[in-house]
Amino acid sequence: MTKRAYKYRFYPTPEQAELLARTFGCVRSVYNRILRWRTDAFYQEQKKIGYTAASSRLTALKKQPELAFLNEVSAVPLQQCLRHQQAAFKNFFEGRAKYPVFKKKRHRQSAEFTSSAFRYRDGKLFLAKCDEPLAIRWSRPLPGEPSTVTISRDSAGRYFVSCLCEFEPEALPVTPKTIGIDMGIKDLFVTSEGERIGNPRHTAKYATRLARAQRRLSKKKLGSENRAKARLKVARIHAKISDCRADSLHKLSRRLINENQVVCAETLAVKNMIRNPKLSKAIADAGWGELTRQIQYKGEWAGRQIVQIDRWYPCSKRCACCGHILERLPLDVRRWSCPECGTEHDRDVNAAINIKAAGLAVLALGENVSGMGQVSVSCSQ
């Protein structure tokens, strides 16, 4: 058994929206106050504060007269935000993340409820201190009763509920088909079979509308209602772009997993590549990292094998027929001929074929090697 989050959109009543707004505000206030307290304690007294001390601090804050509003909402989300903060500090000290930052009012708001702070009965979800069930748009059924529920509101003002449930992954039938994919900008990826999946370029599609909305926002008076309306329009366009990209990537990753037993891909350092000032927007819009992440976890659920080739493997410069490696291959050269065997290659298709061959070789030999013309991979199944 493993856990999976099921996310749905819901439409709160005015009373529920008010309660959630107060809950989000209290969670944000507690998180920021405890974070400031822990940061000051470390820099002024060289003292590290743990979760137990932070929880005691929360109890003291709720007793202060000026913070009496913290008692008006459920205590569970306040306690959970401290657990999340503790996890953020753990990731920071172990080198997996940056130092925790303060929560902002205009960014995404969220509150997590454990089983003691909600009721799920007959397909209806009731939150603590709320008499009516949430009007959830159930796009698919839950596999069981959720263990935790996370309520969130994005910058566009939309409300979502994420239910964490246990489920049993079902392996897909074994298929003999294997594939290698080479990711790019003009085409999102090219397969070893020569199929090209075009890049939708969602940001470019909405660039004119987004620029117009941002110009109008910049001319509004700070703090005015018109500025709040203009900011909401900009946020909705960003949400539309994000939703379109996520929908496209989910469909493509599901197709790759359903049709192939083995998927071979490159290991791309997207954070380093995005520093290129000319290509940063196009790289960010393509979503290579998210596509790879989806292929990984969906492959594990379906019993597929995912092989990632070392980023230094010369898949584009290596001839898929004879193995000759070019000394140099500029990015603007899309087709080239091998000086050894004379085979003419399409750059992307040749790279995808080499990625597939390298991944299958490692699966067959069970060796992880590195060097010019060799590969180092990470394999999950």
Q: Tens of pLDDT along 126-167? A: 999 998 999 999 999 998 899 999 999 999 999 999 999 998
Instruction: Read off the pLDDT band of 271 (50, 70, 90).
Output: confident
Q: Could you tell me where the DSSP H helices lie in 46-74?
A: 51-62
Tell me the mean pLDDT in the region 182-191.
93
- Asked if residue 375 has pLDDT above 60, the reply is no
- Asked if residue 70 has pLDDT above 90, the reply is yes
What top-level class would CATH report for the domain 178-200+245-380? alpha beta
- Asked if residue 381 has pLDDT above 80, the reply is no
Q: How many whole angstroms separate alpha carbon 61 and alpha carbon 42?
A: 20
Q: Please identify which of the residues 66, 112, 131, 182 carries the catalytic annotation.
A: 182
- Asked if residue 376 has pLDDT above 80, the reply is no
- Asked if residue 374 has pLDDT above 60, the reply is no
Instruction: Read off the pLDDT band of 367 (50, 70, 90).
Output: low
Instruction: Read off the pLDDT band of 340 (50, 70, 90).
Output: confident
Do 54 and 85 meet the contact criterion of CB atoms below 8 Å apart? Answer: yes
Per-residue pLDDT tens for 2-27? 899 999 999 999 999 999 999 999 99
- Asked if residue 377 has pLDDT above 80, the reply is no
Is 266 catalytic? The answer is: yes
Q: How many whole angstroms separate alpha carbon 358 and alpha carbon 325?
A: 14
Per-residue pLDDT tens for 37-66? 999 999 998 888 999 999 999 999 999 999
Instruction: Read off the pLDDT band of 371 (50, 70, 90).
Output: very low
Is 112 catalytic? The answer is: no
CB environment 47-60: b (16+ within 10 A), e (fewer): eebeeeebeebbee
Domain spans in the chain, listed from the N-terminal domain onward: 2-167, 178-200+245-380
What pLDDT is stored for residue 310 in this prediction? 83
The mean pLDDT of the chain is 91
What pLDDT is stored for residue 363 in this prediction? 84
- Would you state the structure tokens that stand for residue 174, as one six-digit string? 């074994």
Q: Please identify which of the residues 131, 166, 187, 266 carries the catalytic annotation.
A: 266
What pLDDT is stored for residue 366 in this prediction? 65
Q: How many whole angstroms separate alpha carbon 239 and alpha carbon 253?
A: 21
| Three-state SS at 308 | strand
Q: How many whole angstroms separate alpha carbon 245 and alpha carbon 69?
A: 40
Per-residue pLDDT tens for 212-267? 999 999 999 999 999 999 999 999 999 999 999 999 999 999 999 999 999 999 88
At residue 226, φ and ψ (nearest 5 deg) are -65, -35
- Asked if residue 361 has pLDDT above 90, the reply is no
Q: How many whole angstroms separate alpha carbon 149 and alpha carbon 301?
A: 22
Helices and strands, counts by H and E, the chain: 10, 14
Per-residue pLDDT tens for 75-104? 999 999 999 999 999 999 999 999 999 999
The amino acid at 347: R
Of 219, 298, 297, the closest CA to residue 257 belongs to: 298
Per-residue pLDDT tens for 304-333? 999 988 888 888 889 988 889 998 888 888
